[in-house]
Amino acid sequence: MARAIHEKHKFLVEVPARLASAAFQKCSELSAEAAKIEYWEGGAIIPIKDGGRLTFSDVTLERGTSASTEMHTWFKEVGDAAIAVPGSTGFGSGLTLPQYKAHVGIVQLDRDNTRLREWALYSAWPTKYVAGEWDNTVDEVVIESLTLTYDRFDMVPAMV
């Protein structure tokens, strides 16, 4: 039986109503981890192991800079959240409103642009924005990045 191997060909990042131009050259790994809870009953010499809380690692998206300001604008909305809250204490009170969270889709494409897999990140919002390193002595393109945190991710079933 042949085993399907998915290489690191191409991917798309879809963030409706947040990023119209979602062309990224790099996306960090999706990772989840379950805590391990061990306990012993009575005089048992082997522990009983159960799953505990889940944690999901942040994901970082990178691309060459362009005229688009969407990544910076989305990040700025998180920092400016207090301005939109009636009765807030002012700028930077640390409130993150649900409307600043977005559903993010990451689509893995084959060489012929066939969708191989699709992942959904739920309630994602930016925690870090980097405008890029500016160095006029090198030939590389300035890379901007956006780090997203999210509640959970899931593999989206393939469309038939």
122 lies in a domain?
A: yes
2 lies in a domain?
A: no
Q: Is the pLDDT of residue 94 over 60?
A: no
pLDDT (0 to 100) of residue 159: 60
Domain containing residue 74: 10-30+44-156
Domain of residue 67, CATH code: 2.30.110.20
84 lies in a domain?
A: yes
pLDDT (0 to 100) of residue 3: 47
For the chain, what is the domain count? Answer: 1
pTM score, two decimals? 0.78
pLDDT (0 to 100) of residue 25: 84
Q: Is the pLDDT of residue 102 over 60?
A: yes
Percent of the chain with pLDDT over 90: 36
36 lies in a domain?
A: no
39 lies in a domain?
A: no
105 lies in a domain?
A: yes
3-state SS, one letter per residue, for 87-156: CCCCCCCCCCCHHHCEEEEEEEECCCCCEEEEEEEEEEEEEEEECCCCCCCCCCCCEEEEEEECCEEEEE
